[in-house]
Amino acid sequence: MALPYPTLPGDIDHLIADDHAVVERQFQHLEARRGDRRVLVDQVAFELALHADAEERVLYPAMAEAGEAYEAEDSRKDHQQVKELLVTLQNTDPGEPEFEDALANLIGSVRRHVAEEEGEFLPAFRRAVGPQRLAELGKEFLAAKRAVPTYAHPNAPSGETGHKLLDAGAKAVDMVRDKATGRMKHLATDPSGALDPQAQRILDAFAAMEPQPFEILEPDQARRQPTPADAVRKVLEDDGRPTDPEPVASVQDMSIDGPGGRIGVRVYTPEGAGGGPLPIVLWIHGGGWVLFTVDTYDASCRGIANRTGAIVVSPEYRRAPEHVFPAAHDDVLATYRWVRDNAEALGGDPARIAIGGESVGGNMAAATCLQLAAMGEPLPTAQVLVYPLTTGEQFGDSMVDAADARPLNRPLLSWMAMHAFEGVPDAGSDPRVNLLSVPTDRLAGMPPTLVITDERDPLRDQGEEFARHLEQAGVPVTASRYDGVMHEFFGAAAVLDKAAQAQTEAAEHLRRSFTAPAAAH
């Protein structure tokens, strides 16, 4: 099911529906008997433990205050049954009759609860309290998830007061239990069975570092968590291989003037750079406008520099929630103009500048091209959009079939938008974010484009849809999907063959644009 009305990413009903989508997809893997069923059940148990307790602490008291006391109590009874079934699942193993019976009952119980909650209770609650209250409750819901136990406790009180009195102690006990059983070492992996072995190993390495779920943390807490780049280094360490970054001729950090102050800029010069001005690529890192830095995407920049023979410039744009939309977009546009105006000083050719980026970096690359075109300024020779965000809406089947993906799942995507657009409720519909809303005539002048997507990614379908829009506008476009890999795979070329292949494909696209006649630009 899906909510039958529009929401904003931080609204409590939006966050609840995201949780439902994740668990439903995990149920589908379990029913199909694919992937690692033990890990899947452990992840479901973790998700439902946090979700149920947070609802009991935050949503159900608010529903009772709004005149939905019966509905709140009915939902508590549903949770009680779920918690009892989770205890059975935690104490039995896949294949055992008791396990399989409990799993079937859990799936049926949760699906009935979700249908009632999304179809009746949440719509009525929104009508009763209004969107502002739902946004306030959304923040409380995430805060509650950070505080609640990580296992089901069917014998504990399910009321708001009982949770506040007992949750801290129960959580402390649960954390010890997680350490003792090793459960924390696989909660952040992808147990669906959909990834190829190399990609699976990266996510297993990421999970082994025991990151907390980004999507329930405060931004400063989330920024201290392990990153996909750390997972790549761990795989290299485990193999006894050097973890030094791919060598380039030079890396220089500098700062430039930007619309909100100084912008950090990192400049990579490729190995074997010969005489004469080099082409330049402005490469924009991802992280949902909230997480990550140029350091996280260092491997991508080094790979692009050496494979293209181009100078790569990567901006450290402002991040949310300290600087919400459109701060990051403004910084990227300013950096592109600086690169264009200072290309010769960098050793580059101002007539051969391309642009690209990963995730929201891909969004900002395309948005920069559109802004330049609108202002009559010269466009880049080409653009590369790697698993780009192209709309603020939950678009396409990938929001369902990859709702549970890692490292980017549907709840994390909403969490990022919640912080990036805080106080700017129309940001998601702004054409700089919602590229799918841009009219065909405005897309017609875009440079030759390569769109790279991946199978296990909630952004997959919107990236491919944008490629279709470009094609309809007459833009030379190539759409390339890499199956068996996940969001953030592109920079993992040191340990993932498909990442090396994708970087090579991106480099070939860029090199063709650098050698095309000037009139073609």
CB 303 within 8 A of CB 233: no
For residue 241, which amino acid is it? R
Q: How far apart are CA 122 and CA 58, in angstroms?
A: 13
- CA-based torsion, 189, 285, 429, 450: positive or negative: negative
Q: Which of 20, 153, 487, 509 is catalytic?
A: 487
**Biggest alpha carbon distance in the chain?**
77
Q: How far apart are CA 69 and CA 439, in angstroms?
A: 48
For residue 77, which amino acid is it? K
- Beta strands 250-258 and 261-269 are antiparallel
Partners of 356 in beta bridges: 283, 384
Q: How far apart are CA 458 and CA 456, in angstroms?
A: 7
For this structure, is 349 an active site residue? no
Nearest to 335 by CA among 408, 256, 445, 244: 256
Q: How far apart are CA 328 and CA 341, in angstroms?
A: 20
Q: How far apart are CA 89 and CA 102, in angstroms?
A: 6
The token pair that represents 420 in the structure block: 């990036």
Q: Which 3 state secondary structure label does DSSP give 510?
A: helix
Put the strands of the sheet holding 261-269 in their side by side order.
250-258, 261-269, 311-316, 278-284, 348-358, 383-386, 449-456, 477-486
Q: Which of 75, 158, 359, 414 is catalytic?
A: 359
Partners of 354 in beta bridges: 281
For this structure, is 75 an active site residue? no
Nearest to 416 by CA among 493, 339, 352, 359: 359
For this structure, is 457 an active site residue? yes
Q: Which 3 state secondary structure label does DSSP give 229?
A: helix
Report the phi/psi class of residue 423: left, alpha or beta, with left for phi > 0 and alpha for psi in -120 to 50: left
Q: Which of 300, 457, 469, 521 is catalytic?
A: 457
Q: Which residues are catalytic?
A: 359, 457, 487
